[in-house]
Amino acid sequence: MKMKKFFFLFALAGLFAITLTDTGCNPDEPVVVGPSLNLLSESPLDQTPYFTTDFTINDTATYVPFGLEASKGSGDLKVLTIKDNGVNVSVDRLIMKDLRTGNALTVNNPFLLLGDLVNGFEIEVLIDVHDEYATHDYTFEVSDVNDKVATQTIAVTAEFGGTPIDMTLTGVLLNQAGPAGTGGLDLDDGTGTGTQPSDTNAEIKDNGIDLSLPNDQNWIRRISPMNGSEIRTPGANFPSDFSFADVATKEEIQAFFEDGEALPAENANNEPMSDVVEVGDIFFVLRDGRYYLLEVTDITITPNDNADSYTFNIKY
């Protein structure tokens, strides 16, 4: 009986030894560490402040600055991707700079990380944020060769900013050579006026006719300022996709005026005068601190009399 018990204990000890031996022959799987990504609060080059938390902005035409700092884990960094509500931001909305060298980076999105950037980076990203008045999530994502990913997300809310437009209206400016009391236009209410010194409400006027030309061709069809107003045409920075309907603030009209160009000609009285006015032309007018936006929507030409006219959309 004692011999059986001894044999059982000997067998059990052997089994335990085999178990220990088998377990010791399987080393632990290696731990793969992913990259890290942080938002910088300021530029190490010039202390430009960066956004690091959710924020609200009311100037959607401005590039918003962010600073990114990344370090690799077990594997080299591979790609930086920037997303707006889950969609890659188009490259024409991005400006990027290497904050360790100060050099501008050629923008791609996704941005392939090469050279020293695979070990880690500090990069400035300027984003032309969305135009709609809404909240968008901007996500910065860095991935490495092991497909490990680190992200940072900031919610940006664009809200209506500036001073709302007071008035949107239509006005008709008549040929100055027509009936008495015509040829001027009050931009505040769209009312036609004359062009005499007593017509103090008008901001713009027509330049009448050229008597040296045949009656059916003699309308000069050019406008000039009145009563101390100033007229300008679109300047170098005027957007190619401009929409009269989209202008919502007084500050926008003022900015267009300040970027605008002086009228290119003079009339017989040495007053500024426009080129021949065409449908679709845009003008900006300033009088006594008020800025007006004008869009020409129609031109009526009457060859047998001087009842010619321009129709304007007006905002101020």
Note the pLDDT of residue 206: 98
Terminal alpha carbon distance of the chain: 112
Which two structure tokens, joined as six digits, stand for 25?
Answer: 């022959």
What is the tens place of the pLDDT at every residue in 112-134? Answer: 999 999 999 999 999 999 988 89
Owner of token pair 């107003």: 229
pLDDT-derived band of residue 287, with 50, 70 and 90 as boundaries?
very high
CB-based contacts of 2, cutoff 8 Å, min separation 6: none
Element (H, E) at 65: strand 63-71
Domains of the chain: 36-158 (2.60.40.10), 168-315 (no CATH)
Which two structure tokens, joined as six digits, stand for 193?
Answer: 């006026």
Phi, psi of 244 (to 5 degrees): -55, -40
DSSP state of 295: E
Note the pLDDT of residue 11: 45
Note the pLDDT of residue 161: 79
Residue spans of alpha helices (H) in the chain: 2-24, 250-259
Q: Are 274 and 223 in contact (CB under 8 A)?
A: yes
- Assess whether pLDDT exceeds 70 at residue 150: yes
Using DSSP's 3-state secondary structure scheme, residue 129 falls into coil
Note the pLDDT of residue 1: 44
- Assess whether pLDDT exceeds 70 at residue 292: yes
Count CA atoms within 13 Å of residue 184 on its CB side. Answer: 19
- Please state the three-class secondary structure of 159-181 as a single string: CCCCCECCCEEEEEEECCCCCCC
What is the tens place of the pLDDT at every residue in 58-96? Answer: 866 679 999 999 999 999 999 999 999 999 999 999 999
Which residues pair with residue 83 across a beta bridge?
Answer: 88, 139
Which residues pair with residue 312 across a beta bridge?
Answer: 171, 296
Q: Are 282 and 259 in contact (CB under 8 A)?
A: no
pLDDT-derived band of residue 19, with 50, 70 and 90 as boundaries?
very low
Q: What is the dihedral of CA 241, 245, 246, 247, to 10 degrees?
A: 110
Q: How many CB atoms lie within 10 A of CB 102?
A: 12
Nearest CA to 238 among 253, 256, 250?
A: 256
Strand 261-262 and strand 265-266: the pairing is unpaired
Angle at 101 between CA 100 and CA 107, to 5 degrees: 95
- The mean per-residue pLDDT over the stretch 39-53 comes to 97
Which residues pair with residue 71 across a beta bridge?
Answer: 36, 120
pTM of the predicted protein model: 0.57
